Each structure stands twice: as structure tokens, then as C-alpha cells.
Amino acid sequence: MTIFEQFNATTLEQVYLALGATVTYKGNVASYNFGIRDESYSSVYSSSEFEPLGNEWDNGQKEFIPWKKPTNCTISDSDWNKYWLTLLQETGSCVMQGAINFVRQRIVAEVLLMRQPEVIRFPNLLVAYGKSREFLGLHDRGDGSSGDTMAKALAEVGFCEDGNRLFPTLNFSETKGIHYGAKVELDFSQGRKIPSNMLEACKPHIARVVKIRSVEQGRLLLLNGYGQTVASDWGGRMQITPRGNPPVLLNDHVGVWHHQQAYIAVKHHPQFGWLYWREQSWGPNAHGYCPFFQRRGGFAVLEKDYEYDIKRGQVWTASGLHGFLPSSFKHLV
């Protein structure tokens, strides 16, 4: 199924609108906004400045791919694959979706580091999303937030696990992806109206939130298992054909998407150098299959595009409760 068939659409703009986007035009150039309400990207909530990374962070690895199931993992294939289904936003909720992608990557990294990969729980960020809108001064039943206030909500409000009976059921679909549905996304958009028992069910799991300052810093953090969420205006192609040797689903900066996504994997390519996997929230049919990263639901970008996000947007990461620690995943390869 193509994404056009999924939404019964004949034009790309119809697809974008079905994904919750709003569109504006400057002349003949379209700009699509998938839920970013601070298009200046001027500041990022940060609990502290990040110190330079020492030599201990260079673990010699050439990749970190969190969905590659290790041989010693006792989680069933069905549960592992279910956890890594692609997200699908149905309103302008890209800020929540980008944060979910970052958090679930970090959960897997910490579980695998403990070398006891028996259970992984999917995160529920509905409350954090509503509070991020409240922090931004948005109190209506609507959509959109900012990377800045979502970082603040994750650090101060926290999240809970999916399956808590207080919350709506999350849908896991191989054809559509992981989704709550438009009604649930809108129901939780008013932070002030979220019941106290739902707030109490959420706990902070993050000690520090920091902004990525350079490509080298970001790459080392990714290789050590610290995924990143990105809010920027970088826009690419919806339909991509793999290219290169070996072939990779490599996107190009050709348009404007005010959008929050996540960098959750990195891998060195013999032809293109370091490539960064940009996980989307548009379901499994959006871009096609990437043979190099062995994944649907996103695409790879060149290092210059990663650098664009760092310089022009908001790219931040967060630690667990024990802070930032250098890590090695060589025991999983």
C-alpha cells in the first residue's frame, strides 16, 4: 500500500493535510506545518549546559541501530517488532510523536545496556504533550506545540507506560502504524484539563535535557545510545528511491516542513559517510523501505543535513536518572 492509497489521496498536499498539516504559500512555494507552534526555533529548554565529551565516548563503533534485535535478547520477535512499528500522527501532534520516538529509543538502549533484555514497555506521553501546550500558553482543544516546551514537560512532568488503565488504548497496526487516533490526540491537548490521577501516574525519568551543539557531539551521543529529537524547518521528499552502493533511502533537503522528528540511529556508509536516520510519524507507507538501515517509517540524511538541524533548529537529547554515561553496545553485535 502506498501512502496515497492509505489516505485515498491523489496529490501530495492531500496526504500532508491528512497527516494534520497546515499549509501556507509564499508565492508558489508551499510551507507545511505538522504541529510546530514556535517556528523561530530560537531557544531550547535546557537543565544544564553540556560539557565536552571525552575520549571515553569514542567507543569505536560504526553504527547504532536500536531496532536491530540482539542475539541474546529473550523478548519474542512479535513483541520486538510490535514495539518498533512506525508511529502515525492524525492531527498536528508531531511534537509528541517526535518525543515518543526519542523516548522509546532511549528505553531500548538502557534495557540492552543492562544486558537483561526481557521486557520493554512502550511510553505514554499524552500528559506531557498536553502540558507542553500549556507551558506554551495554548489552552484550547487543538494541536501543535514546541520542541522547547516538550523538553520541559518530559523533564518536569515525565511519562508513564502504555497499558495504564487510566488512559486510552494505543493501537498497534502493521498497516497504519502505532496511533491513538485524532480524538485522543485532541482530548489530551488541554493540559489544564488533564485529571490529577493521570498527572500522578506520570513520573520523571530524565535527569538532564541538553541541546546538541555540534555534529561531532551529536554523533558520539547517538553511537552511545542517546537518541535526539529535532524540531526544524527541514523538508524533504515523500517518495524516495534508494540510491548508492549499498543502496540507502537517502532524502534531500528540497522543501519546508515545520516538523518535529527524531534522530534515533546512525551508521557509516562507504560512499556517503556518516548517515543519520530520521524517524518519522507518518506510518509505514510514507517513504518506502531502506535496505541499508533495514527499516520503514523514516529515511537517512547526510551529515550536512544533520548539521543544518543543529544550527537552524532545535536538536536535544536527555539522560536517564543517572545522567549521561558513555556506553558500548559491542556485546550486542
Rounded Cα–Cα distance for residues 214 and 252 (Å): 21
Share of the chain above pLDDT 70, in %: 90
Q: What is the pLDDT of residues 28-68, one digit of tens each?
A: 888 999 998 877 766 666 655 667 677 777 878 899 999 98
Rounded Cα–Cα distance for residues 82 and 85 (Å): 5
Is 292 inside any structural domain? yes
Label residue 329 by pLDDT band (50, 70, 90). Answer: low
Is 216 inside any structural domain? yes
Q: What is the pLDDT of residues 205-260, one digit of tens each?
A: 877 788 888 999 999 999 988 899 999 999 999 999 999 999 999 999 999 999 99
Is 225 inside any structural domain? yes
Is 66 inside any structural domain? yes
Label residue 331 by pLDDT band (50, 70, 90). Answer: very low
Is 49 inside any structural domain? no
Is 46 inside any structural domain? no
Q: What is the CATH number of the domain that holds 230?
A: 3.90.70.10
Rounded Cα–Cα distance for residues 245 and 119 (Å): 36
Q: Are 190 and 144 in contact (CB under 8 A)?
A: no
Please, what sign has the CA dihedral across residues 187, 193, 196, 200? positive
> Cell triple for residue 184?
485522543
Rg (CA), the chain: 18
Domain assignment of residue 254, given as a range: 3-40+54-332
> Cell triple for residue 321?
536518572
Place of cell 516538550: 150
Residue of 89, 88, 201 whose CA lies nearest to 144? 89
Label residue 182 by pLDDT band (50, 70, 90). Answer: very high
Is 186 inside any structural domain? yes
Residue 333 is predicted with a pLDDT of 43
Residue 26 is predicted with a pLDDT of 85
Is 47 inside any structural domain? no
What is the total count of domains within the chain? 1
